[in-house]
Chains A and B, each alone.
With several copies, the nearest count.
Chain A
Amino acid sequence: MPDMTFAEAIKDAHVVEMERDPNIYIAGEDVGVFGGCFGVTAGLLDQFGEKRVKDTTITESAIVGTAVGAASAGLRPVIELMFVDFIGVALDQLYNQAGKMKYMFGGKAKIPMVMRTACGAGIGAAAQHSQCLEALFMHLPGLKVVMPSTPYDAKGLLIEAIRDDNPVVFLEHKMLYAMEGEVPSGAYTIPFGQADIKRQGKDVTIVATANMVHTALGAAEKLAADGISLEVVDPRTLYPLDGETIFESVKRTHRLVILHEEVKFAGSGAEIAAQVAEEAFDYLDAPILRVAAPFCPVPFSPPLEKAYIPSEQQLIDAVKKVMA
């Protein structure tokens, strides 16, 4: 298996699928000549031409909205929203149109589209270019929400997303783009709604997403030395959410700490905690803790940004607390 970066794995998913299905097109700001703000689509314009790789004006409502219209008329758009923070200017077309059409029309519409977008802090991009907003998308019926943590998962989940007949929000944490990992060539899919146990353990279940999976794995390595065994569960898709795998893990470990980068308050971890507090309550031996960003915009200054992003140490502290 070749090694690829996360960004290359995502590009590869595009290539594999675009070669298979001529109705797939890509559109977004600077996805063509420029190759994408993070280089993900570099080279696709040369390979597939202007018809299928469309540079757009800076009009996110129209980018999303034309994708919805095109999807409902038979195409399979894969669009890029440069930063997830920009969703505020385009949310209506995503949630009131794409997400609801099928239901409002009594089941007859089919909106096969993917909106890829970069999220997350870590590059000093400040408050309007650094957020994680997965909880927003989770709450909106009609959308699926994908958040990969490895190159392998990214490719398999993106191919699955492209083949899915529903609108899918595909969240790419920008600190992962350069990460390398083994990625099979050719097509393969990872089904939605299947969490992946990234590390098995017996003392505490950690549910973590995106690059926080790696923070959790780092903590697991350290704590292993102290004789504490973490099980790291990566939901991979937040809707559908694989509650079962999480509950099963908690039933084994009896302890749960949730780790994510978006702000804690009303974040994705709240839903996970609430589900466990309902479905696996009797197995819990300790309060459910969440380690997540504090309730503030993402600050610019490097030390502040670093303090904002949940750390391995914070996770370790939380683990020690639930073990106490």
Chain B
Amino acid sequence: MDLTNEQLIQMYTTMVKIRTFENRVAELFADGKIPGFVHLYVGEEAVATGVCENLTDKDYITSTHRGHGHLIAKGGDIKKMMAELFGKETGYCKGKGGSMHIADLDLGIMGANGIVGGGPPLASGAALACQYMGNDNVAVCFFGDGASNQGTTHEAMNMAACWKLPVVFINENNMYGISCCTTKSMCVPNIADRAAGYDIPGVVVDGNDAVAVWEAAAEGINRARQGKGPSLIECKTYRHRGHFEGDPCTYRDDAELEEWKEKDPIPRLEQKLLEMELLTQSKIEKIKQELQKDLTAAEQFAEESPYPDISGLLEDVYT
């Protein structure tokens, strides 16, 4: 393990940051402050965090409809995120995108995506740009178990393999695509098993173990940086909340959820860091307080920001 102590604490902090952000979004959504659809990342924080800890601002990620975690892990500004969720002028997209389309191209965040399977070709394309320009930047594609069955995913992986593109496909297997369980959407135990069809490495990792995710991602990302082509890393995880806020989740067992809550990635890393004496209870408290402060500030920023003026409705369609 090559993670420094700072990195470990950083990862822990990021995960808590995502968790507190998402939990607050759930409340704000329930209160009617956030319109539209929101898909929360609670329970899956170790994936985005472990992966993005390997990336710089010059690397690219493509995200999904469940994008808040990816954005925060890649360095997204929660003020602009929250403002965007509120549909405010000061949001990442001036309120035009909302939860499903937050992007920050300056940080290499190529956007959340409302189309399941929309991201993989885009990620391969960003990777192509890195290869073409001859730098050692990479692209990372987050995609779900449901998205793994989309044709675009197959096409993008095959093209990436053929062209040895510096892209890492990170599958977030949370066992469900809305109500459709992976036991019904695929016949193989692992999505990573499909990597063999492209002659690229396919790795399964415990997606609730941030360090394990980091390690697997480090390998794939370094490989990509070295020009050795793409890989597929499947992170087994679970979403604690419904598919979207408001989902009654009738399609899955409470027992299953409870089982996964036992494997919650945050207490797990917390425990580890406590054991390693990198954290103490008071340090944890301090981290959480700080995060809470930022979150409150973000919320206040969002709340107080104006809605976009409708005069801008037709702006930003074309350059």
Contacts and interface: CB of A to CB of B under 8 A. Distances in A.
| A–B contact via C-beta, under 8 angstroms | yes
Interface of A: 23, 25, 29-30, 32-34, 37, 51, 54-59, 61-62, 64-75, 85-86, 88-89, 92-93, 96-97, 101-110, 123-129, 141-142, 144, 164-166, 294-297, 299-304, 307-308
Among A55, A165, A301, residue most surrounded by chain B Cβ atoms (within 10 Å): A301
10 contacts: A30-B180, A32-B179, A57-B180, A59-B151, A62-B121, A69-B128, A73-B125, A75-B129, A300-B35, A307-B310
Given A62-B121, A92-B115, 13 more contacts: A33-B250, A34-B179, A59-B151, A61-B121, A69-B124, A96-B115, A97-B118, A106-B92, A124-B36, A141-B317, A142-B318, A295-B314, A299-B96
B236 interface: no
Interface in B100-133: 100-101, 103, 105-106, 110-111, 113-118, 120-130, 132-133
A66 B159 contact: yes
B226 interface: no
B146 interface: yes
A115 B292 CA distance: 47
A11 B256 CA distance: 31
Interface in B128-142: 128-130, 132-133, 139
Contacts of A308: 313
B105 A105 contact: yes
Contact of B105 (A108, A127, A166, A303): A108
A58 B149 contact: yes
Contact of A57 (B62, B185, B307): B185
Interface residues of B, number: 74
A56 B159 contact: yes
B314 A74 contact: no
B117 A89 contact: yes
Contacts of B180: 29-30, 55-58
Nearest to B309: A303
A65 B139 CA distance: 14
B115 A70 contact: no
Contacts of A71: 125
A58 B177 contact: yes
A72 B98 contact: no
A300 B87 contact: yes
B147 A58 contact: yes
A164 B93 CA distance: 22
Contacts of B113: 97, 128
Nearest 3 pairs of A and B residues by beta carbon:
A69-B125, A65-B121, A124-B36
Given A62-B158, A70-B129, A92-B118, A104 B103 contact: yes
Interface string B32-73: 000111000000000000000000000010100000000000
A66 B37 CA distance: 27
A301 B308 contact: yes
Nearest to B118: A97
A166 B316 CA distance: 11
A46 to B, nearest CB: 12
Contacts of A106: 91-97, 316
A213 B103 CA distance: 36
A106 B316 CA distance: 6
B20 interface: no
B115 to A, nearest CB: 5
A294 B313 CA distance: 9
B150 interface: yes
Given A73-B129, A308-B313, A299 B95 contact: yes
B121 A105 contact: no
Contacts of B162: 57
B60 A166 contact: no
Contacts of B111: 101, 104-105, 109
B179 A65 contact: no
Contacts of A69: 60, 62, 110, 121-129, 139
B126 A30 contact: no
Contacts of B127: 69
